[in-house]
Every structure is written in C-alpha cells, then in structure tokens.
C-alpha cells in the first residue's frame, strides 16, 4: 500500500471515529430513551468482535489445525474465567505447540 | 477532582491497553511499517474499529466501506458521549470537549461514569493520559516486534488479539443468554460470508458490518435489554 492510500484510509478512520465521539458530546444533552436502539448498541461490540474473530482465527496461522487449536484454547480459558492477557497467551501457546511441537 | 486522581484511576486501563495494543501492533506489522501502525493507534484509540480498519486496508477495500464500518463499529461511542455529557461539570466547555473527546473509549468511559463526583476537564485529561500512552507505546512495541521476531513467533502472536476478543465476548455470553444468541447469529453469518462461494464476493469490511448489524438488530427486536440490566458495554 502506498502512503497516499494509507493517508486516505487513516483520515477516514480517525475522522469518523472522532466525529462519532465529539458531535454528540457537544450537541446532545439528553439520554437516548429508545430501548430498541439502546439494546442494539449494547449488542454491537460483541457481534462485531465475534464476526471479526470467527472464522478468521481458523485461517490466521500457517495451517488450519493450529488456528482451530488457538480458538479452542481461548474459549476454554475464557470459560474458566481468565482475563484478557491469560486468554491471549493460551491462544498463542496453542499455536506454538501445534506448529512447533506436533507439526 | 484533580488531574493526579485521574492519572491514578487511569493506570490500570493503561496497563491493560499495553497488551491489547501490542497485539494490534503485531497484526498491523504484517501490512504496514511500524510508524504507520503506531499512527493509527495515536489517532483512533479504539480496538475493534482499528482492527476492522486494518482488515479493510489489507483487503484494499473502498473508502466508503471504511467509513460505514467505522460508523457502525464505533457508534457506541456516540451513546457514551451522550451519557457522559450528563455527567460533566459546567467547566467542561465546547473547546474542552473538542480536545478531550478522543478519550471516550469503553474503559475510560466506564471509569468516568462510575465516579461519584461530576467529571471536570482536568480529571478527564488525567484519566486519558496513561491509557493513551499505553495504547500508543504498546502498538509501537508490537509493530517493531512484528518486524524483527521470527515468523513462527509472530504467527503465534497473531492470534493473541483474537484471543482477547474471545475473552471479551465469552463472559457476557455466559451471563446473558440473548448475547449468546446475538454472537451465534453473527458467527453463522460471518462463516457464510467466508465459505459460501456467492457471498465471498462481499468484501471483508461489509461482511463484518452486515453480520454485526443484522445480529444486533434481530436481538434488539426480540430480546430488548432492560435499562438496569444493560449488558456491560
């Protein structure tokens, strides 16, 4: 990617994100009342993260088996109530184990 | 409330951001040089949005796609900004809001809204300083590490960010069944876009937007969240 394209992407990303934070912060003084839209916005972070993670994680490494191992390790660690960093380490260790030791 | 109290309250967030942004730096180093990856973090300060943006750059998506993706993924900040505007002191004028609004992230918002007193600009600035530094330096370190570490390690570290996303999504799924349903719908749609031949023509950015918006709309319609039991967002 050349620098010109990157600059356009960056401007779009940062610009939209900044305006989303700033415009309502300056203009609106009322709480959003609609239960529907409040619910929609409450679900959005989780559905976005889920859609970005699956199935991309299966194909993020050199072979599918280590990607699937990372997914299983991360879900298992999360179900056991571990925090962000431990879960990330579990996923990383699973890939290292499968790619480095088994294959 | 003082600047120094804000800095102290922001410390745990800053440490947490170091790890996440390190993973973002690693992911970004596959497509971009380290100064550019760091620049994304310094201007955006948002995890899911930046990662989606990175995927769109990798796929050479259109600017329209980038704008729509950022709009939906980061729309929740508007909601937080509205809510935070109820909680600030009168000294938080328009200029202060223009300068400090970049600090409205999930975690900083949560701390600010949870404080007992009204939030003044100095406290909010203090609260933002360490998370901002943590986010930027973590990205910088990750992006440089991504360029110098051997492939087997960066390959393995590449799944760290996905691991963190899973760690964010699984706990509310356990606690709140409709969130599980929303996630299941999003994942099913996402797999369809990835594996079904006709749907593969839809670009990565639009696929994420469609998956998230459809799943969230359906669940908002059929499982509206009562105000006091609102999912932690």
Angle between helix axes B63-85 and A35-53 (nearest 10 degrees) is: 130
Burial B96-130 (b: 16+ CB within 10 A, else e): bbeebbbbbbbbbbebbeebeeebbbbbbbbbbbb
How many interchain CB pairs under 8 A, A with B? 295
CB–CB contact B159 A95 (8 Å): yes
Residues A50 and A70 in one domain: yes
Q: How far are the Cα atoms of A56, B142, B200, B204 from residue B214, in angstroms, in the given order?
A: 19, 33, 18, 15
In this model, does residue B233 exceed pLDDT 70? no
How does pLDDT run along chain A (103 residues), one tens digit per residue? Answer: 889 999 999 999 999 999 999 999 998 666 677 899 889 888 988 898 899 899 999 998 888 999 999 999 999 999 999 988 899 899 999 999 998 888 7
In this model, does residue B231 exceed pLDDT 50? no
Distance separating alpha carbons of residues A92 and A1, to the nearest angstrom: 28
Residue A29 pLDDT: 61
Q: Is B230 exposed, middle or buried (0-12, 13-18, 19+ CB in 10 A)?
A: middle
Interface test with B, best of A48, A64, A86, A102 (most B CBs within 10 A): A48
Residues A24 and A39 in one domain: no
DSSP E strands, B75-118: none
CB–CB contact B169 A16 (8 Å): no
In this model, does residue B191 exceed pLDDT 90? yes
CA distance B94 to chain A (A): 6
**B113 contact partners, CB below 8 Å, separation of at least 6:** B80, B83, B84, B87
Q: Which residues of A touch B51 (CB under 8 A)?
A: 52
Question: Encoding tokens for residue B196?
Answer: 């079904």
Q: Which residue of B has its CA nearest to A63?
A: B155
In this model, does residue B122 exceed pLDDT 70? yes
Residue A25 pLDDT: 92
Residue A93 pLDDT: 95
Residues A26 and A5 in one domain: yes
Helix extents (H) in chain A: 3-27, 35-53, 64-79, 84-96
Greater model confidence, B206 or B145: B145
The mean per-residue pLDDT over the stretch B171-194 comes to 96
Confidence class for position B176, pLDDT limits 50, 70, 90:
very high
Residues A26 and A45 in one domain: no
Distance separating alpha carbons of residues A45 and A52, to the nearest angstrom: 11
Computed over every residue of chain B, the mean pLDDT equals: 90
Q: How far are the Cα atoms of A74, A85, B112 from residue B161, in angstroms, in the given order?
A: 11, 10, 26
Confidence class for position B229, pLDDT limits 50, 70, 90:
very low
Cross-strand partners of B88: B119
The mean per-residue pLDDT over the stretch B22-50 comes to 94
Confidence class for position B226, pLDDT limits 50, 70, 90:
confident
How many domains would you assign to chain A?
2
In this model, does residue B73 exceed pLDDT 90? no
The shortest CB-CB distance from A1 to any of B16, B50, B57 is to: B57
Distance separating alpha carbons of residues A6 and B169, to the nearest angstrom: 30
The shortest CB-CB distance from A84 to any of B49, B164, B194 is to: B164
Give the lowest-confidence range in A74-78, B40-44, B49-53, B85-89.
B85-89
CA distance A102 to chain B (A): 13
Range of the domain at A79: 34-102
Identity of the highest mean pLDDT range in A51-60, A81-90, B80-89, B126-135: B126-135
Confidence class for position B230, pLDDT limits 50, 70, 90:
very low
Q: Which residues of A touch B23 (CB under 8 A)?
A: 88
Residue B26 pLDDT: 93
Residue A30 pLDDT: 63
CA distance A27 to chain B (A): 9
CA distance B200 to chain A (A): 13
Is there a contact between B161 and B138 (Cβ–Cβ < 8 Å)?
no
Residue B19 pLDDT: 85
Q: Which residues of A touch B158 (CB under 8 A)?
A: 60-61, 95
CA distance A65 to chain B (A): 12
Residues A42 and A65 in one domain: yes
């Amino acid at each position: 990617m050349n620098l010109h394209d990157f600059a356009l992407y960056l401007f779009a990303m940062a610009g939209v994100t900044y305006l989303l934070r700033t415009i309502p912060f300056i203009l609106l003084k009322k709480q959003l009342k609609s239960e529907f839209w409040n619910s929609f916005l409450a679900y959005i972070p989780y559905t976005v993260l889920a859609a970005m993670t699956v199935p991309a994680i299966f194909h993020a490494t050199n072979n599918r088996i280590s990607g699937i191992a990372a997914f299983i390790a991360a879900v298992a660690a999360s179900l056991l109530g571990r925090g962000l960093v431990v879960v990330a380490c579990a996923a990383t260790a699973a890939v290292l184990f499968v790619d480095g030791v088994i294959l | 409330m003082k600047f120094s109290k804000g800095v102290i309250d922001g410390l745990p967030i800053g440490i947490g951001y170091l790890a996440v942004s390190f993973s973002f730096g690693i992911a970004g180093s596959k497509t971009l040089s380290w100064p550019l990856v760091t620049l994304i973090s310094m201007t955006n300060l948002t995890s899911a949005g930046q990662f989606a943006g990175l995927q769109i750059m990798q796929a050479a998506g259109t600017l329209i796609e980038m704008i729509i993706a950022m709009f939906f993924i980061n729309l929740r900040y508007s909601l937080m900004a509205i809510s935070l505007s109820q909680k600030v002191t009168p000294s938080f004028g328009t200029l202060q809001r223009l300068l400090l609004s970049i600090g409205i992230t999930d975690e900083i918002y949560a701390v600010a809204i949870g404080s007992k007193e009204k939030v003044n600009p100095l406290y909010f600035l203090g609260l933002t300083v360490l998370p901002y530094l943590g986010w930027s330096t973590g990205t910088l370190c990750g992006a440089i590490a991504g360029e110098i570490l051997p492939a087997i390690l960066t390959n393995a570290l590449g799944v760290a960010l996905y691991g963190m996303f899973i760690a964010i999504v699984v706990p509310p799924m356990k606690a709140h069944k409709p969130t599980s349903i929303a996630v299941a719908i999003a994942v099913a749609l996402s797999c369809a876009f990835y594996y079904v031949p006709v749907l593969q023509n839809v670009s990565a950015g639009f696929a994420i937007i469609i998956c998230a918006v459809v799943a969230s709309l359906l669940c908002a319609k059929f499982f509206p969240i009562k105000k006091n039991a609102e999912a932690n967002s």
